[in-house]
Amino acid sequence: MWKDKRPILFGGDYNPDQWDDAVIEEDMRLFEQAGVNLLVLPVFSWAKLEPEEGRYEFAWLDHILNKIWEHGIHVFLATPTSAQPAWLSKKYDDVLPVDIAGRKRTHGMRVFFCVNSVHYRERARALAEAMAERYRDFPGLAGWHVANEYGTYCYCENCQRKFRDWLRRRYGTVEELNSRWHTSFWGRTVYDFDEVMVPDERNDDYRFAPAVQLDYMRFVTDSTIECYENEAEVLKAATPHLPVFTNISGFIKKLNQFEMVPHMDYAGWDNYPAPTDEPAFPAFKHGIMRAARDGAPFLVAEQSPNQQNWQPYNKLKRPGEIRRIAYQGLAHGADSSLFFQMRQSVAGQEKFHGAFIAHCGANSRIFREACALGQELHKLGDAFTGSRIHARTAIVFDWENWWALELTSGPTQDMDYLKQVFRYYRAFYAQNIPVDIVKTSTDLSGYDLVLTPLLYMIKPGFAEKLRTFVEKGGTAAATYMSGRADENDRCIFGAYPGPLRDVFGVWVEETDALYPEESVELVMMGTESGFPEKRYEGRFLCDLFHTDTAEVAAVYGKSFADGKEQDCFYTGMPAFSVNAFGEGRAYYIGCEPDDRFLARFIARICREKGITPLFPVEGEIELTCRENENGRFVFAISHGKETGKVHLDGDGACPGKRYFDLLREKEVSGTYVIAGGDVAVLKEL
């Protein structure tokens, strides 16, 4: 096992139970050639490890693990509990889930069990115990990977019972439940917890009641945490010195990862950007994952070395693309670059999914790119693992707010919290200003600038925290759809943004939804510096708000539909304002402004706080900086075709001037020229 610090983990999911010895031998040779230092297995082998209840067959796994270790490769041992064997589904009625339509599902799918099933949990724990017992001293063991991409929503009778117990614990009395769920609306009063139903499709009232849905999502998250802990506890007890985690699907919405991940030693997530995603989008998701453990390094647990099979159009990765994707993860705080999968399978649903070794064998462009990446990562070793990113700006992202905003009926069908928050993230990203995604529970005192886009749900304590932050000199910015509801989705009377009204110095009277083809002008009053153009464009939703103490910085101007002017009764009303509060400032943005406005706005509020980009650049270059006991590491990734420049000697947030280029092994300073599509890791000297 690695004695001190771990190098960047490089390798990925390996399913050797599909292969004979000759293939495994060949794989070992190729993995060594590629510089692989970690394999994750056996993710889906429960059926093979426990062919009948209580009878374990570990010999085949021993054999493979020994072979792997003979080649000096470490493993994350996976409890294969995301795909239960047929005998388990058949023998115990509580194992298979009941779906939202109320249908009891049949066996045959992975991640397809009720997380509250007593028998599933019993057998999963027993298997985890048997594995821990057998492999706790295996020298190549580097950590445990529990199950795979949790995310099943079940609506069975057992879940219903447990949901009622969960509510009893949360609310104590039915009176409290009635008040929190505001059941007097539509006469849904509950007289006994036993009358609460799961919000499946047989029950439209519950299915569309946001308060019920919200609690069900919280309940499923808690149940999944219990299900994870059921195994993790056993593994942790056997090997307290080793990390335990599960990999998180890139479609992260349905489980609250900010609740789940703190139970793990790593946030490990599966990064599968769509070919059409702009590079800022995976960067944003890395930021969310980094936030889950308050800035600690995370893992990229899966990414594809080439195409997917499940996207509508499965594009090949372009030459150099895997390298950029891998470095982007590292640049944003990952300590690994792990892939799904090492060898393409012969058959099955994913037979056309990319792999290090594809059906054509290792004489391939992709394998050569994997080898080149492996060699580079080997060279980087453990220099920056464990390092963190330091940002003075933060964007608040709240999982339950995500659920609540999108569960709400109105004001628009196009609500997409992730996408909306991303626009604010991208404005920082485009200017290479480090920004942290933070939770509502994060201590804000270390930041100078905090944005809370669409923070509709204000949880207890948050308003006070933001108020103190601004009072003490911080700059805050909020948008339309802010401060509307409490954690049970009960709206706040006394005008939005509710408890933040005094901080922003505004109150919202109404909100207009725009059709996708509609826009409204934002006309600057000329009071705010940094907005050279007088007119910008707003879309999506328009808050009609009034100022108490805030100064109006822009008003709504003309309204257009498909570029044609139309009547607008709120022309001249405030659209954007700034409030001096305590020693700080609080901005309110009444509608969704265009990118031009956002770029100006972010630059303006950063400048005011003395926050600058890491370095001045020319060209499409993404910059980040990680820091550990070895010093500062600057990552530069070119996403353009043209040659770009990083002015290391320019004025920026990164004070260093002389660097060592770790990949090219030479000292650099002044203007660093980076070829189109290339990457660099520079260590400050």
303 binds ligand GLA (CB under 6 A): no
Task: Decide if 425 contacts 452 (C-beta within 8 A).
Answer: no
Q: What is the rounded end-to-end Cα distance, in angstroms, of the chain?
A: 31
Region from 151-159, 580-588, 633-641, 677-685 binding Zn ion, contact rule CB under 5 A: 151-159
Binds ligand GLA by CB under 6 A, chosen from 302, 528, 592, 622: 302
d(CA 397, CA 543) in angstroms, rounded, equals 21
Active site includes 528? Answer: no
Give the DSSP H/E element, type plus range, for residue 170: helix 157-171
Shortest Cβ 223–Zn ion spacing (Å): 8
Task: Decide if 391 contacts 333 (C-beta within 8 A).
Answer: no
Tokens matching residue 181: 């769920």
Shortest Cβ 301–ligand GLA spacing (Å): 8
The residues facing 561 across adjacent strands are: 518, 564
Burial class (CB in 10 A: 0-12, 13-18, 19+), 411: middle
Q: Out of 32, 70, 133, 149, which one is annotated catalytic? A: 149
Please enumerate in sequence order all residues whose Cβ is within 8 A of that of 216, keeping only pairs 6 or more positions apart, or say none.
Answer: 163, 198, 199
**H helix and E strand count, the chain:** 18, 30
Tokens matching residue 180: 């929190």
Q: Could you tell me how many residues make up the chain?
A: 685
d(CA 369, CA 320) in angstroms, rounded, equals 7
Q: Which amino acid is at 392?
A: R
Q: Binding to ligand GLA (CB under 6 A): which residues in 322-341?
A: 340
- 321-331 and 280-292 helices cross at what angle (nearest 10)? 40
Residue 114 binding target from Zn ion, ligand GLA, none, CB below 5 to 8 Å by type:
Zn ion
- Token pair 């995310």 is at which residue? 151
Residues in contact with Zn ion, shown as a per-residue x/- string from 94 to 133 under the rule CB under 5 A: --------------------x-x-----------------
The residues facing 658 across adjacent strands are: 669
Active site includes 618? Answer: no
d(CA 190, CA 175) in angstroms, rounded, equals 8
Edge-first strand order for the sheet with 644-647 is: 617-618, 644-647, 671-674
Shortest Cβ 302–ligand GLA spacing (Å): 5
Q: Binding to Zn ion (CB under 5 A): which residues in 152-171?
A: 154, 156, 159
94 binds ligand GLA (CB under 6 A): no
Residue number with CB closer to Zn ion (34 or 154):
154
Shortest Cβ 290–ligand GLA spacing (Å): 19
Q: Please give the DSSP secondary-structure letter assigned to residue 340.
A: S
Shortest Cβ 145–ligand GLA spacing (Å): 10
Residue 350 binding target from ligand GLA, Zn ion, none, CB below 5 to 8 Å by type:
ligand GLA
272 binds ligand GLA (CB under 6 A): yes
Residue 154 binding target from ligand GLA, Zn ion, none, CB below 5 to 8 Å by type:
Zn ion
Residue 149 binding target from ligand GLA, Zn ion, none, CB below 5 to 8 Å by type:
ligand GLA
Region from 3-11, 181-189, 280-288, 300-308 binding ligand GLA, contact rule CB under 6 A: 300-308
Region from 301-309, 423-431, 523-531, 673-681 binding ligand GLA, contact rule CB under 6 A: 301-309
Task: Decide if 453 contacts 497 (C-beta within 8 A).
Answer: no
Residues in contact with ligand GLA, shown as a per-residue x/- string from 338 to 367 under the rule CB under 6 A: --x---------x--x--------------
| Percentages (nearest 5) of helix, strand, coil residues in the chain | 30, 25, 45
Residue number with CB closer to ligand GLA (268 or 333):
268
Q: Out of 50, 302, 518, 622, which one is annotated catalytic? A: 302
Residue 429 binding target from Zn ion, ligand GLA, none, CB below 5 to 8 Å by type:
none
Residue 387 binding target from ligand GLA, Zn ion, none, CB below 5 to 8 Å by type:
none
Shortest Cβ 317–ligand GLA spacing (Å): 13
Residue 370 binding target from Zn ion, ligand GLA, none, CB below 5 to 8 Å by type:
none
Give the residue at shortest CB distance from ligand GLA: 270
Residue number with CB closer to Zn ion (154 or 212):
154
Residue among 340, 304, 466 nearest 78 (CA): 340
d(CA 301, CA 286) in angstroms, rounded, equals 12
Catalytic residue IDs: 149, 302
Footprint of Zn ion (CB under 5 A): 114, 116, 154, 156, 159
Q: Which residues of this protein are in contact with ligand GLA, per CB under 6 A?
A: 148-149, 270, 272, 302, 304, 308, 340, 350, 353
